[in-house]
Amino acid sequence: MRLTVDGTEHELDVEPDMPLLWLLRDELGLHGPKYGCGIAACGACTVHLDGLAVRACQITAEEVEGAEVTTIEGLGTPDAPHPVQQAWIEEQVAQCGYCQSGQIMQAASLLALNPAPTDAEIDAAMSGNLCRCASYPRIRAAIRRAIQSEGA
Ligand code: FES
Ligand code: FES
């Protein structure tokens, strides 16, 4: 199968029903997307599929044939972080960090679709991303900061 991940095209020989999360982590060595629940209930595995946030544990290799996937590794760089990543740093959001790549990918997808969400829209968009360290107030603050930094 062919798949573009973080701007690089790959040709992979994998089982059609392999979850995208396995493909990213085990075949491509991209460990930013995390395994949390495996049943679309935590958001730790969130990546972008053709620009939209999806749960990589619930999508199979055959479903992403020819698609473009972006992981946290491809969202920005240390020298040029995505505005959401920059806001996360400035708000010092992470505690243990396990959920945070999923949180950032979900927030980046939200702001790409809706550059000026209301608090209710932020809460609705982020409600499927769980954080056992309860960093939710800092997550909201970082999203607000990213919105302001983009002048929305
Ligand atoms: S591991 Fe995919 S949603 Fe929890
Ligand atoms: S920072 Fe620890 S689970 Fe979210």
Hey, what domains does the chain have and what are their CATH numbers? 2-75 (3.10.20.30), 83-149 (1.10.150.120)
pLDDT band at residue 152, thresholds of 50, 70 and 90?
A: low
Ligand 2 pocket check for 85: Cβ under 6 Å: no
| pTM > 0.75 | yes
Question: 92: buried, middle or exposed (CB in 10 Å: 19+, 13-18, 0-12)?
Answer: exposed
pLDDT tens-digit series, residues 9-44: 999 999 999 999 999 999 999 999 999 999 999 999
pLDDT tens-digit series, residues 99-146: 999 999 999 999 999 999 999 999 999 999 999 999 999 999 999 999
Residue 150 has pLDDT above 90, yes or no: no
Handedness of CA 73, 79, 84, 90 (dihedral sign): positive
Token pair 């969202």 in the structure block, residue: 75
Ligand 1 pocket check for 33: Cβ under 6 Å: no
Q: Which of 42, 59, 72, 129 to mutate to test the pocket of ligand 1 (most atoms within 8 A of CB)?
A: 42
pLDDT at position 143 is 98
Ligand 1 pocket check for 55: Cβ under 6 Å: yes
Q: Which atom of ligand 1 is nearest to the CA of 43?
A: 3
Helices (H), the chain: 20-22, 72-75, 83-91, 100-113, 119-126, 136-149
Ligand with the closest atom to the CA of 54: 1
What letters, b where the CB count within 10 A reaches 16 and e where it falls short, cover 127-150?
A: eebbbeeebeebbbbbbebbbeee
